[in-house]
């Protein structure tokens, strides 16, 4: 059942590619829209089951010999994510139907979007870490396609490449961590690994596996210093930003941290690394959001900041796994609960805000704050939605963000009261950083709504007079806005059915320890901190023009973006220099490298494993015909060296090839002889056909040194091959591989060992060869199409 849920978007995506040319483009959006709607309904019907602390599991055998099965698990934690993936996905697709231009490729857009949905569902439902990794990288690939959707724009291509490099590099490190976990637990099952990890803290691979897994999660969730890919990814269409960068892809790292909390939680390094990285990300994202002039860039840094807030809460709450904390377990459970609560809240108000910015860009023609103002009179409903989302993000009363922000302050304040990890010494510093970040959050929230929609309208002839968006573009952010308000008044409805079952997955008795959400907690420290945030935030916003210019004194070269670009450029230059050293266009040089490498590897191997036993005994006698054929081949090979025309060289080479075919006939291998004859005939004909296109024959004049060098390598290569041939009949260092293939009938069902090797054992190799030819064919096709469009206007810098 769960496997069908995951593959359903994939099947529809394939169907869209097939029927896209046969139906109207507008219908493609509605077909894609039906997928998340159906999936949301299917997942939602399991809420009563999951809320009673039960789980749904599906298993299909995949690679049983390695313990890799398609095992999927729907529990309290994964249910929250699948509802976000499908629920927000449905709203985003509905929004995109009215957002996309008629010039855009609807088929490609919805195919990529559904592929990404499949990947995200696979990530949050997989109970096998190898399967999880496959879907994890699938999210990076599909998001690359979505970010680069407008591929004719240079910034879109660069943003897609940057996100792919960073997230997939993190994925590789995560895979290494997964393999270490397998070595530690002898299992790929996530449930087994999480159950055994608390008893393996003394294992030598425990901390390396933890570090590699954290890097993978931090890169995907844009945590400092890996956050630099997210702002550049905003070159994607706005529906993509609303889906990937507010509700789904960036939450994959959050999910991974939460899922592994029962295994690694309670460890001091897990606690401090996640908490500190989260706080730094929270502050740095909010600090940089204020300086942005592009609305989507502002939302990008605000997303980074909010992800840091959630990560901080997960770090604080992870200490609740430690059995030594005793009565303080409830406070740490409170932090985990708040992290999940804010994760849902963030998806509502940030998804709505991305759509609002998309409406502004779509209706006005710009996202530049320096060219915006006074849009309230032209876009009143959009202004209302922007105000709801911004006030929720700022944490103001009567919006869901206020509740989770207050609870976040409570969790941060609790660090100083729980000195189990030394929190009492630095608790005040963490509170200060969180408070300052919240002030910046308030400021950029006010910038987004008031700088865009209030004030004097800026008239610019370059842009059209704005009009309110269509109803289809207003409904999706409107639904999210209603949720942002509704969750303030009815938060415990979400808590009872979704949040408590999720916390129960992370902490034993988590549902019982989970708090009841209240909007009013009396006059406490959190309330005074909130009043300070609002007061200082208002003052900072009013004085924005006076202190914002100080951002320009921050050295532009001292950024991680600069470091990334310089590192990438350095590797490109180094790669080019190294490549040009051996890819010099000189064919003799290539043979020199190949034969030298072969000789070094073979003689090094013999030196390591010991001397080999060379014997001149032959298991069978040589006939006169075989001897004459060997003489003919030797004469032809030597004669090629002295040929002065291509025709002579090709004919002599053909003599060698056809002689090998005759040898196969002598050895009673007609299938190999036929293959050799066909290949040799085709190769010889191709050589002759290409004569008209080859440059004039020139014998290269070599110095004595190069001639001696080439001669020594040729003799060494021939000697190496001869030794291998003489030693193969009496080689005892390793077991012969033929013993494996002798069991071909049981292993492959083939009575003919040669056919079994070619048709079954080498099937994977043949598939890869076919894949290489397919990729080469795509490259040739692309070059031909580019040549046909050579006269078209270049779009490089559009």
CATH of the domain at 774: 1.20.120.1200
Does residue 152 sit within a domain? no
Distance (Å, whole) CA 359 – CA 477: 10
Handedness of CA 294, 300, 303, 308 (dihedral sign): negative
> For position 532, what pLDDT does the model report?
94
Distance (Å, whole) CA 333 – CA 76: 15
Distance (Å, whole) CA 390 – CA 370: 19
Query: Is there a contact between 169 and 220 (Cβ–Cβ < 8 Å)?
Result: no
Does residue 400 sit within a domain? yes
Q: Count the alpha carbons within 13 Å of 484 in the hemisphere toward its beta carbon.
A: 31
Distance (Å, whole) CA 120 – CA 84: 10
Reduced DSSP (H G I as helix, E B as strand, rest coil) percent helix, strand, coil of the chain, to 5: 75, 5, 20
Domain boundary at 489, 515, 542, which? 542
Count CB neighbours of 507 within 10 A: 24
**What value, to the nearest 5°, has the Cα angle with vertex 662 and ends 661 and 665?**
95
Domain boundary at 533, 568, 583, which? 583
Q: List alpha helices for 186-224, DSSP H.
A: 190-196, 206-220
If asked whether residues 400 and 500 sit together in one domain, one would say yes
Query: Is there a contact between 38 and 150 (Cβ–Cβ < 8 Å)?
Result: no
If asked whether residues 650 and 510 sit together in one domain, one would say no
Does residue 66 sit within a domain? no
> For position 133, what pLDDT does the model report?
95
Largest Cα–Cα separation, the chain:
107
Quick one: three-class SS letters along 95-118? HHHHHCCCCCCHHHHHHHHHHHHH
Does residue 90 sit within a domain? no
Judging by beta carbons within 10 Å of its beta carbon (0-12, 13-18, 19+), is residue 626 exposed, middle or buried? middle
Query: Is there a contact between 42 and 493 (Cβ–Cβ < 8 Å)?
Result: no
Residue 256's Cα: distance from chain center in Å? 13
Q: Domain range spanning residue 563?
A: 553-583
Judging by beta carbons within 10 Å of its beta carbon (0-12, 13-18, 19+), is residue 139 exposed, middle or buried? buried
Handedness of CA 765, 770, 776, 779 (dihedral sign): negative
For 60-110, write each residue's pLDDT tens digit.
988 887 888 899 999 999 999 999 999 999 999 999 999 988 888 889 999
Does residue 84 sit within a domain? no
Domain boundary at 542, 563, 597, which? 542
If asked whether residues 776 and 721 sit together in one domain, one would say yes
Count CB neighbours of 798 within 10 A: 11
> For position 798, what pLDDT does the model report?
39
If asked whether residues 462 and 562 sit together in one domain, one would say no
Both tokens of 406, joined, read 């207050």
If asked whether residues 561 and 709 sit together in one domain, one would say no
If asked whether residues 739 and 752 sit together in one domain, one would say yes
CA distances from 325 to 202, 267, 317, 370 (A): 20, 12, 12, 52
Q: List alpha helices for 319-364, DSSP H.
A: 329-364
If asked whether residues 703 and 728 sit together in one domain, one would say yes
Query: Is there a contact between 196 and 209 (Cβ–Cβ < 8 Å)?
Result: no
Roughly how many angstroms between the first and final C-alpha of the chain, as a whole number? 46
If asked whether residues 489 and 352 sit together in one domain, one would say yes
Does residue 614 sit within a domain? yes
Query: Is pTM beyond 0.75 here?
Result: yes
Does residue 182 sit within a domain? no
If asked whether residues 677 and 637 sit together in one domain, one would say yes
If asked whether residues 486 and 564 sit together in one domain, one would say no
Look up tokens 């997964």; give the residue. 178
Does residue 378 sit within a domain? yes
If asked whether residues 652 and 564 sit together in one domain, one would say no
Strand 68-74, strand 56-63: pairing: antiparallel
CA dihedral 499, 500, 505, 510 (to 10 degrees): 130
If asked whether residues 568 and 682 sit together in one domain, one would say no
Both tokens of 66, joined, read 């390695």
Query: Is there a contact between 110 and 243 (Cβ–Cβ < 8 Å)?
Result: no
> For position 796, what pLDDT does the model report?
41
Both tokens of 63, joined, read 């690679």
The domain tally of the chain equals: 3
The rounded average pLDDT for each run of 10 residues, N- to C-terminus, in the chain (798 residues) is 91 90 83 95 94 89 85 94 95 93 88 95 94 95 92 89 93 96 93 92 93 96 92 90 85 94 89 93 94 92 94 88 66 89 94 94 87 88 95 93 92 72 68 92 94 77 73 94 94 92 87 85 86 94 90 79 86 88 81 91 85 68 82 90 81 88 86 86 81 69 85 91 79 70 72 74 75 85 72 44
Both tokens of 413, joined, read 């304040």
> For position 619, what pLDDT does the model report?
60
Length of the chain: 798
């Amino acid at each position: 059942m769960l496997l069908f849920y995951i593959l359903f978007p994939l099947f529809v995506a394939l169907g869209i590619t097939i029927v896209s040319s046969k139906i109207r483009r507008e219908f493609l959006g509605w077909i894609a829209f039906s997928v998340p709607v159906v999936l949301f309904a299917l997942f939602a019907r399991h809420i009563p089951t999951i809320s009673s602390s039960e789980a749904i599991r599906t298993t299909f055998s995949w690679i049983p010999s390695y313990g890799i099965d398609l095992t999927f698990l729907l529990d309290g934690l994964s249910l929250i994510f699948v509802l976000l993936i499908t629920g927000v996905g449905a709203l985003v697709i509905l929004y995109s139907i009215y957002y996309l231009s008629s010039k855009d490729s609807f088929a490609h857009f919805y195919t990529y979007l559904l592929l990404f949905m499949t990947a995200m569902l696979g990530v949050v439902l997989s109970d096998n870490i190898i399967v999880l990794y496959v879907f994890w990288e699938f999210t990076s690939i599909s998001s690359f396609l979505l970010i680069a959707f407008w591929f004719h724009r240079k910034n879109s291509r660069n943003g897609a490449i940057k996100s792919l490099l960073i997230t997939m590099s993190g994925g590789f490190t995560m895979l290494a961590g997964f393999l270490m976990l397998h070595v530690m637990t002898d299992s790929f099952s996530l449930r087994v690994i999480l159950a055994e990890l608390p008893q393996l803290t003394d294992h030598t691979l425990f901390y390396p596996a933890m570090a590699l897994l954290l890097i993978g999660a931090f890169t995907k969730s844009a945590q400092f210093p890996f956050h630099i890919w997210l702002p550049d990814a905003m070159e994607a269409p706005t529906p993509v930003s609303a889906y990937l960068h507010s509700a789904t892809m960036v939450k994959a790292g959050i999910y991974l941290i939460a899922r592994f909390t029962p295994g690694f939680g309670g460890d001091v390094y897990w606690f401090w690394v996640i908490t500190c990285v989260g706080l730094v990300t929270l502050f740095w994202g909010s600090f940089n959001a204020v300086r942005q002039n592009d609305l989507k860039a502002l939302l990008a840094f605000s997303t980074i900041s909010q992800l840091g807030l959630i990560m901080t809460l997960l770090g604080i709450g992870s200490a609740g796994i430690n059995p030594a904390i005793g009565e303080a377990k409830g406070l740490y459970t409170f932090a985990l609960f708040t992290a999940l609560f804010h994760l849902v809240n963030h998806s509502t108000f940030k998804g709505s805000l991305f759509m609002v910015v998309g409406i502004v860009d779509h209706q006005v023609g710009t996202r530049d704050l320096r060219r915006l103002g006074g849009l309230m009179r032209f876009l009143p409903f959009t202004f209302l939605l922007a105000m709801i989302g911004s006030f929720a993000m700022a944490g103001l009363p009567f919006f869901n963000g206020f509740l989770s922000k207050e609870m976040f302050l409570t969790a941060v304040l609790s660090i100083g009261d729980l000195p189990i990890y030394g929190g009492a010494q630095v608790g005040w510093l963490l509170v200060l950083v969180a408070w300052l970040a919240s002030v910046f959050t308030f400021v950029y929230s006010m910038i987004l709504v008031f700088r865009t929609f209030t004030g004097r309208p800026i008239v610019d002839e370059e842009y059209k007079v704005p009009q309110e968006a269509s109803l289809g573009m207003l409904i999706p952010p409107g639904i999210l806005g209603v949720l942002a308000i509704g969750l303030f008044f009815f938060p415990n409805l979400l808590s009872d059915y979704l949040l408590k079952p999720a916390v129960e997955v992370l902490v034993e008795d988590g549902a019982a320890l989970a708090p009841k959400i209240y909007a009013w907690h009396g006059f406490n420290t959190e309330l005074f901190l909130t009043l300070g945030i609002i007061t200082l935030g208002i003052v900072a916003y009013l004085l924005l023009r006076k202190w914002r210019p100080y951002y320009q004194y921050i050295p532009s070269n001292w950024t991680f973006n600069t470091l990334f670009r310089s590192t990438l450029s350095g590797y490109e230059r180094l790669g080019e220099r190294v490549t040009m050293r051996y890819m010099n266009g000189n064919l003799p040089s290539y043979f020199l490298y190949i034969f030298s490498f072969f000789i070094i590897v073979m003689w090094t191997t013999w030196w390591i494993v010991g001397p080999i036993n060379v014997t001149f005994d032959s298991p069978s006698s040589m006939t006169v015909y075989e001897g004459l054929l060997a003489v003919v081949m030797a004469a032809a090979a030597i004669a090629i060296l002295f040929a002065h025309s291509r025709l002579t060289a090709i004919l002599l080479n053909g003599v060698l090839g056809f002689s090998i075919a005759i040898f196969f006939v002598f050895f009673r291998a007609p299938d190999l002889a036929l293959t050799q004859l066909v290949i040799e005939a085709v190769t010889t004909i191709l050589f002759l056909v290409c004569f008209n296109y080859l440059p004039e024959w020139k014998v290269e004049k070599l110095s004595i040194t190069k001639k001696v060098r080439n001669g020594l390598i040729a003799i060494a290569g021939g000697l190496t091959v001869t030794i291998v041939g003489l030693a193969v009949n009496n080689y005892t260092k390793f077991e012969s591989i033929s013993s494996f293939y002798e069991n071909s009938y049981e292993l492959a069902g083939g009575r003919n060992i040669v056919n079994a090797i070619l048709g079954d054992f080498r099937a994977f190799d043949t598939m890869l060869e076919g894949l290489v030819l397919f990729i080469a064919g795509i490259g040739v096709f692309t070059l031909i199409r580019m040549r046909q469009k050579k006269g078209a206007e270049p779009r490089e810098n559009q």
